[in-house]
C-alpha cells in the first residue's frame, strides 16, 4: 500500500516544521535531565503519530511503511528518542491489525490511533532477550480469564504507557517452544505494576522500565487473535515493521551526524583554513555521507517491499543492520571532526554518540539480524 505523493509531501512538511519548532529546541535539555517530554507527546497525539500506520478506517493516518520511514528518519536526524514513544506502540497496533479478531480491532485500534491507549511491547525478561522462546512469564487460564505471573524488563513506554502487548507462555511445556506462546493486550490494573525506571547511557527522556505481573487477571478477549499459541508469529510479524523503523532511525541519525560534522568543519579553522579543506577531514565527510545515503536506500528497499505485501525479513534485516552500524560509525566520526568540543554536552553530537548504539541492540541485535539475513539467503537460494 502506497501513500499518495501529495499526502506524503504534506505530512513530511508538517513533520519538518514540528521538528524545527518543537523538537530541536528542547532536545538537549530533556535528554540531559532525562525528563519525559509530556508536551511533545500531546503534540504527537495531535499530529496523529500514534496512529501513523494504523488504517484510516480505525482512525489512523494509514501511512505506508515508506512514508512512515521517511518521517521517522527526519525526526531522528535531530533527536532519536522521541521516535521510540510511538514506534513500539505501533508494533503493538500492527500485531492487532494483522492478527487480532474483528472485536479487538474495533475496540483497540481507534484508542491506539488517538493515543488514548498507548504503550508498546513487553517481550524481554531478565533471563531472555534474543532467545524469546525462553521467556518464563506465564498466562494460566482461569475460566474466561488468564492470570499472568512473571517479570519483563527494559520495556519502552513501560511507565508512561497504559497498555502493553505482553508475550507470555500459555503452555510452558510445549515443543516446539513457540507453540506455547501467546500475546495479550494488557491495560494497567491491579496485579500489573511498574518496577524501577532504568537508568541509561542514552535514549533518555523516554522511559524504560521493569514490569511486574502478580496474578494479573486479563480477559480471554485480550488474547490477540483469540487463540493460544500464535504469539511468537504475531510478534515476529510486527517486528518486521519495527526493524524498518529502527533502520529509518539509523539512516536519520547517520545523516544528522554528517550534517552536523559538515557544518562544523566549514566553520572551524586550523592552520589558516577551514578544517573542511583538510583532506583527512574530507575523507571522513565523504565516507559519512556515503554511509548515510546507502542506509537510506536500504530503508527504502525494505519499506517498499513491505508496502507491496512481500516477505521482507532479509531486506528489513539488512537495512536495520547496516543503518544502525552507520549511525554508530557516523556519530563517532562526527566526534572526531568536532575534536575536543565533541566531549562537551554543549554540542548535540555527544547525544548522537550515546543514542546510536541502542539501534544495534533493539528489535533484535545485529548478531541476530545477520543470522536472519543468512537464513533467508539460504532459503531463497534453495
Ligand atoms: C533502551 C532499551 C529499550 C528496550 N526496549 C524494549 C521494549 O520496548 N520491549 C522489549 O521487549 N525489549 C526491549 N529492550 C530489550 C532488547 O530488545 C534486548 O536487550 C535485546 O533483544 C537483546 O537481548 P538481551 O539484552 O537479553 O541480550 P542477550 O540475548 O543476552 O544477548 C547478549 C549478546 O549475545 C548475542 N547473542 C545472543 N544469542 C546469540 C546467538 N544465537 N548467536 C550469536 N550471538 C548471540 C547478542 O547479539 C548480544 O550481543 C530494550 C533494550 C534497551 C537497552
* Each residue's pLDDT tens digit, 130-171: 999 999 999 999 999 999 999 999 999 999 999 999 999 999
Name the grid cell of 249. Answer: 532511525
Give distance in angstroms: CA of 133 to centre of ligand 1: 13
User: How large is the average pLDDT for residues 270-281?
Assistant: 98
d(CA 273, CA 90): 48
**Which band of pLDDT confidence, cut at 50, 70 and 90, is reported for residue 2?**
confident
User: Is 56 designated active site?
Assistant: no
pLDDT digit string, tens, across residues 14-30:
999 999 999 999 999 99
**Which band of pLDDT confidence, cut at 50, 70 and 90, is reported for residue 196?**
confident
Q: Which of 363, 367, 313 is nearest to 156 (CA)?
A: 363
- 3 state DSSP class of 91: helix
CATH number for the domain including 365?
1.20.140.10
Give distance in angstroms: CA of 363 to centre of ligand 1: 8
Catalytic pick among 97, 315, 350, 363: 363
Of the three residues 228, 260, 295, the one that is the final residue of a domain is 228
By the 8 A CB rule, do 38 and 26 touch?
no
d(CA 297, CA 303): 10
By the 8 A CB rule, do 335 and 258 touch?
no
Give pLDDT, residue 5.
87
- Number of domains composing the chain: 3
Same domain, 202 and 143: yes
CATH number for the domain including 180?
2.40.110.10
Angle, alpha carbons 290-242-40 (nearest 5°):
90
User: How large is the average pLDDT for residues 254-261?
Assistant: 98
Helices 65-76, 83-99: crossing angle, 10 deg rounding: 160
CA-closest residue to ligand 1 atom 14: 154
To 10 degrees, the CA torsion angle through 238, 131, 191, 172?
110
Same domain, 370 and 254: yes
CATH number for the domain including 108?
1.10.540.10
Q: Above 80 in pLDDT, residue 348? A: yes
Q: Is 121 in the pocket of ligand 1 (CB under 6 A)?
A: yes
Q: Above 90 in pLDDT, residue 1? A: no
Angle, alpha carbons 309-295-47 (nearest 5°):
65
Q: 268: domain range?
A: 233-381
User: How large is the average pLDDT for residues 187-191?
Assistant: 98
Provide the CA 376 distance to its chain's centre, in angstroms: 23
Give the whole-number percent of the chain exceeding pLDDT 70: 100
Q: Is 321 in the pocket of ligand 1 (CB under 6 A)?
A: no
By the 8 A CB rule, do 193 and 179 touch?
no
Q: Is 44 in the pocket of ligand 1 (CB under 6 A)?
A: no
Give distance in angstroms: CA of 89 to centre of ligand 1: 19
Q: Is 198 in the pocket of ligand 1 (CB under 6 A)?
A: no
Q: Above 90 in pLDDT, residue 4? A: no
Amino acid at each position: 500500500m502506497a501513500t499518495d505523493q501529495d499526502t506524503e509531501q504534506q505530512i513530511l512538511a508538517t513533520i519538518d516544521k514540528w521538528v524545527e519548532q518543537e523538537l530541536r529546541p528542547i532536545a538537549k535539555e530533556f535528554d540531559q535531565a532525562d525528563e519525559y517530554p509530556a508536551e511533545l507527546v500531546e503534540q504527537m497525539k495531535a499530529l496523529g503519530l500514534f496512529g501513523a500506520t494504523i488504517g484510516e478506517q480505525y482512525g489512523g493516518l494509514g501511512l505506508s511503511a515508506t512514508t512512515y520511514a521517511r518521517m521517522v528518519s527526519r525526526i531522528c536526524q535531530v533527536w532519536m528518542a522521541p521516535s521510540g514513544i510511538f514506534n513500539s506502540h505501533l508494533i503493538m497496533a500492527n500485531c492487532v491489525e494483522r492478527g487480532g479478531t474483528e472485536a479487538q480491532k474495533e475496540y483497540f485500534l481507534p484508542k491506539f490511533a488517538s493515543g488514548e491507549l498507548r504503550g508498546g511491547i513487553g517481550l524481554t525478561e531478565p533471563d531472555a532477550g534474543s532467545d524469546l522462546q525462553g521467556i518464563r512469564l506465564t498466562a494460566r487460564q482461569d475460566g474466561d480469564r488468564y492470570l499472568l505471573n512473571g517479570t519483563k524488563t527494559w520495556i519502552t513506554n513501560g511507565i508512561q504507557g497504559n497498555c502493553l502487548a505482553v508475550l507470555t507462555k500459555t503452555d510452558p511445556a510445549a515443543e516446539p517452544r513457540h507453540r506455547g506462546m501467546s500475546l495479550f493486550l494488557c491495560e494497567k490494573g491491579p496485579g500489573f505494576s511498574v518496577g524501577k525506571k532504568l537508568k541509561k547511557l542514552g535514549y533518555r527522556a523516554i522511559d524504560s522500565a521493569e514490569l511486574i505481573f502478580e496474578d494479573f487477571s486479563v480477559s480471554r478477549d485480550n488474547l490477540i487473535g483469540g487463540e493460544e499459541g500464535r504469539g511468537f508469529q504475531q510478534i515476529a510479524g510486527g517486528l518486521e515493521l519495527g526493524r524498518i523503523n529502527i533502520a529509518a532511525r539509523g539512516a536519520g541519525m547517520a545523516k544528522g551526524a554528517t550534517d552536523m560534522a559538515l557544518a562544523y568543519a566549514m566553520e572551524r579553522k586550523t592552520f589558516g583554513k577551514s578544517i573542511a579543506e583538510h583532506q583527512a577531514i574530507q575523507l571522513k565527510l565523504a565516507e559519512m555521507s556515503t554511509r548515510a545515503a546507502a542506509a537510506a536506500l536500504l530503508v527504502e528497499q525494505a519499506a517498499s517491499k513491505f508496502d507491496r505485501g512481500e516477505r521482507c525479513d532479509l531486506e528489513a534485516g539488512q537495512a536495520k543492520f547496516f543503518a544502525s552500524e552507520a549511525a554508530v560509525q557516523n556519530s563517532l566520526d562526527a566526534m572526531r571532526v568536532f575534536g575536543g568540543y565533541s566531549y562537551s554536552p554543549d554540542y548535540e553530537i555527544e547525544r548522537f554518540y550515546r543514542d546510536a548504539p541502542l539501534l544495534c541492540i533493539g528489535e533484535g541485535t545485529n548478531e541476530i539480524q545477520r543470522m536472519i539475513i543468512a537464513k533467508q539467503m539460504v532459503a531463497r537460494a534453495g
